[in-house]
Chains A and B, each alone.
Chain A
Amino acid sequence: MEKNPRMAYGAALLELAGKDRRIVALDADLCNSTQSVQIEKNLRGQYFEMGIGEANMICAAAGLALCGKIPFVHSFAVFVAGRPFDQIRQGVCLPNLNVKIVGSSAGLSDFPDGATHQSFEDMALMRVLPNMTVFSPVDAVEVPKVVRAALAIEGPVYIRLNRNDVPVLTEDSTPFETGKPLVLAEGGDVALCATGLMTDLAMKARESLNADGISARVVNFSTIKPLDAEAVKKALAGVRALVTAEEHSVIGGLGAALSETLAENPLPMKRVGIADRYGQSAQDYEMLLEHYGLTPLAIAKAAREILSRGK
């Protein structure tokens, strides 16, 4: 089954904002794409159109937060995390304000629009900022849990969302805890550590590895920062190697976060992600994922290589 994370996001935000008048939504003329339109349509006094001006939008959200509001600020990931980086750093994270930044159409998911609209850098940018929490939900069922977790944090949060329908891997009852990875499938040789859509591809890679007699564990990371080092250690206990998989640059995202977490007690590791390069337009999402090497085949290949290196 596939479901759309941004639609799930709009519904979740509407539900929460309906109960808590402090929640306000801001958007930079993309409220239909980001689904903050749900607030504009249903809770009009809680929506602010900020025009196509992301820098002002972030700082206005800071001002709203300083007056007791809980702003959720929306645009495409590349525009809301990249363009106003200084405003997020100085205006939101330094004073540790209660502002939630929601980056839609992340990764390659805005496939037709090309490099300008695709974001492989947002997790790196948001992760480096002190006080910031970074979420990258695995599927649409998890999205409402992530939004509730973001609301429970008194401080800045970044949520990364896919534009397209993505496979559902979790259930309502699946636990979600900030900072803790989730083992989705057991295995003893290698851990496939993935986030977002890539977790589904890691599940598929696991099947092909299992068919070859390699036991692969799939560990999903919906929190990129902070990472609970103890929980990470537990999730990786016993494996000989790990492969990370993310729809993001191999620089600065999940792979980097795990490298840093494991730096003192390293495991052999390979990173599957977008090589140090920009995106481009394509006719469909699958084609682009394939072109940039974000496939079950690539994950399985990385796992085989790293295990054979260990022998």
Chain B
Amino acid sequence: MDRELVTSLSEKARSVRLGIIDALGVGNRGHLGGSMSCADIVAALYFYKMRHSAQKQDDPNRDRFIMSKGHSVLAQYAALAETGYFDKKILGTTKTLGSILQGHPERTTPGIEANTGSLGQGLSVGVGMALAGKADGLDYHVYVIVGDGELAEGQIWEAAMAASHYGLDNLTAIVDMNGIQAMGKTRDRYAIGNIPGRFAAFGWKTFEIDGHDMAEIVDTLDRAAAVRGLPTAIVARTVKGKGVDFAENTHAYHNNLLNVEEREKAIASVMASAMSAK
């Protein structure tokens, strides 16, 4: 694995984390935990794997990204701002009246490909996009991040069936398996069981990774894109709140406020964790 690439992507992931804190602001309620848990994956997609450009947003051949767990859109906003889809200064307007950055993804935001937020729908939208790609002979790839709690939505499994029925090898689902949903640990609240096994049973090629190991994320995204004939699922073990030490592994920061002091502590924590990773 290219050491320089991994280092540079880890730095991008740090920018995404700082962007999440910016988007959360002070005194606004927002989903810190689930945005942080998928920050490394989002960084790897936007800054390494996906073919996309803020300058050519309607390129029919661009790769598509859907944040099906729409509450984690703060990570996507941060990545889009970092890539130039809109000014980073706008991040601070997230969830304020009239902002282009809504509480959940909407197509009115540059770079947002699909409306999500009502859980369970994003993978189906990805199925439609992947079907269109096949029908038109385009070689773009569709990436959908779903949460482990979100897998309780039955529509996910309808989409899983459709994707394998049509052999959608241009579709990759990434499960941000942080193990915590709004009301507590997923295994205690509503156990979803063997996630890779369930996707495999629905006819998907599955991978299991550490969702914070950048080298492993990059390598697995490459391997998933090379699979032919069936859809791919990457089940990523992640830590809710990853990078903000006081928010890690707790549902207290599923949807929360940060006061001025907490915001400073969160920024310091992200900076420190990025340093130690080097």
- Chain A positions within 8 Å of B, measured between CB atoms, are 24, 45, 48, 50-51, 53, 55-69, 71, 86-87, 90-91, 94-95
Taking a contact as CB atoms closer than 8 A, the residue among A55, A68, A87 that contacts B132 in the complex is A68
Contact A95 B114 (CB under 8 A): yes
Chain B residues with CB under 8 A of A48: 131, 166
B127 at the interface (CB under 8 A from A): yes
Contact A51 B128 (CB under 8 A): no
* 6 nearest A-B residue pairs (beta carbon): A63-B128, A59-B124, A67-B132, A56-B158, A53-B158, A60-B128
Alpha-carbon distance A71/B132, docked complex (angstroms): 11
Known: A62-B128, A63-B130. 8 other contacts (CB 8 A): A51-B162, A58-B124, A60-B125, A63-B127, A69-B135, A87-B124, A90-B121, A91-B121
Chain B residues with CB under 8 A of A51: 158, 161-162, 165
Instruction: Identify the closest chain A residue to B133 (Cβ).
Output: A67
Alpha-carbon distance A24/B106, docked complex (angstroms): 25
B118 at the interface (CB under 8 A from A): yes
The A-contacting residues of B in range 126-153, CB under 8 angstroms, are 126-133, 135-136
Alpha-carbon distance A252/B34, docked complex (angstroms): 40
Instruction: Identify the closest chain B residue to A24 (Cβ).
Output: B135
Contact A66 B117 (CB under 8 A): no
Cβ of A175 to closest chain B Cβ, rounded Å: 35
B16 at the interface (CB under 8 A from A): no
Taking a contact as CB atoms closer than 8 A, the residue among B121, B165, B166 that contacts A87 in the complex is B121
Chain A residues with CB under 8 A of B161: 51, 53, 56
Chain B residues with CB under 8 A of A95: 106-107, 114-115
- Give me 25 A-to-B residue pairs in the complex whose CB atoms sit less than 8 angstroms apart, sorted by A's number: A51-B165, A53-B161, A55-B155, A56-B127, A56-B158, A56-B159, A56-B162, A57-B124, A59-B125, A60-B128, A60-B159, A62-B124, A63-B131, A63-B132, A64-B128, A64-B131, A66-B113, A66-B125, A67-B133, A87-B118, A87-B121, A87-B124, A90-B117, A90-B118, A91-B124
Chain B residues with CB under 8 A of A58: 124
Chain B residues with CB under 8 A of A61: 128
* Contact A94:B124 (CB < 8 A) given known A64-B132, A68-B132: no
Cβ of A92 to closest chain B Cβ, rounded Å: 9
Alpha-carbon distance A280/B115, docked complex (angstroms): 38
Instruction: Identify the closest chain B residue to A45 (Cβ).
Output: B135
Alpha-carbon distance A67/B141, docked complex (angstroms): 12
B27 at the interface (CB under 8 A from A): no
Instruction: Identify the closest chain A residue to B166 (Cβ).
Output: A48
Chain A residues with CB under 8 A of B165: 51
Contact B115 A60 (CB under 8 A): no
Taking a contact as CB atoms closer than 8 A, the residue among A56, A63, A91 that contacts B129 in the complex is A63
Alpha-carbon distance A60/B159, docked complex (angstroms): 8
Alpha-carbon distance A209/B133, docked complex (angstroms): 59
Alpha-carbon distance A130/B179, docked complex (angstroms): 37
Contact B128 A53 (CB under 8 A): no
Chain A residues with CB under 8 A of B136: 67-68
Interface size class of B (residues with CB under 8 A): 20 to 34
Alpha-carbon distance A95/B113, docked complex (angstroms): 10
Chain B residues with CB under 8 A of A45: 135
Alpha-carbon distance A45/B134, docked complex (angstroms): 10
Chain A residues with CB under 8 A of B121: 55, 59, 87, 90-91
Alpha-carbon distance A90/B118, docked complex (angstroms): 7
B84 at the interface (CB under 8 A from A): no
Contact A86 B159 (CB under 8 A): no
Contact B135 A91 (CB under 8 A): no
* Contact A68:B155 (CB < 8 A) given known A55-B124, A63-B124, A95-B114: no
B229 at the interface (CB under 8 A from A): no
Contact A60 B60 (CB under 8 A): no
Alpha-carbon distance A59/B165, docked complex (angstroms): 16
Alpha-carbon distance A95/B112, docked complex (angstroms): 11
Chain A residues with CB under 8 A of B154: 55
Chain A residues with CB under 8 A of B133: 67
* Contact A62:B106 (CB < 8 A) given known A45-B135, A67-B129, A67-B136: no
Taking a contact as CB atoms closer than 8 A, the residue among A60, A86, A90, A91 that contacts B131 in the complex is A60
Alpha-carbon distance A6/B6, docked complex (angstroms): 58
Contact A59 B155 (CB under 8 A): yes
Chain B residues with CB under 8 A of A65: 128
* Contact A56:B155 (CB < 8 A) given known A50-B162, A95-B106: yes
Chain B residues with CB under 8 A of A64: 128-129, 131-132
Contact B127 A60 (CB under 8 A): yes
Contact B124 A69 (CB under 8 A): no
Chain A residues with CB under 8 A of B115: 90-91, 94-95
* Most A CB within 10 A of own CB, among B127, B154, B165: B127
* Contact A66:B162 (CB < 8 A) given known A90-B115, A91-B121: no
Contact A69 B132 (CB under 8 A): yes
Chain A residues with CB under 8 A of B130: 63
Instruction: Identify the closest chain B residue to A89 (Cβ).
Output: B118
The A-contacting residues of B in range 260-276, CB under 8 angstroms, are none
Alpha-carbon distance A29/B207, docked complex (angstroms): 32
Chain A residues with CB under 8 A of B117: 90
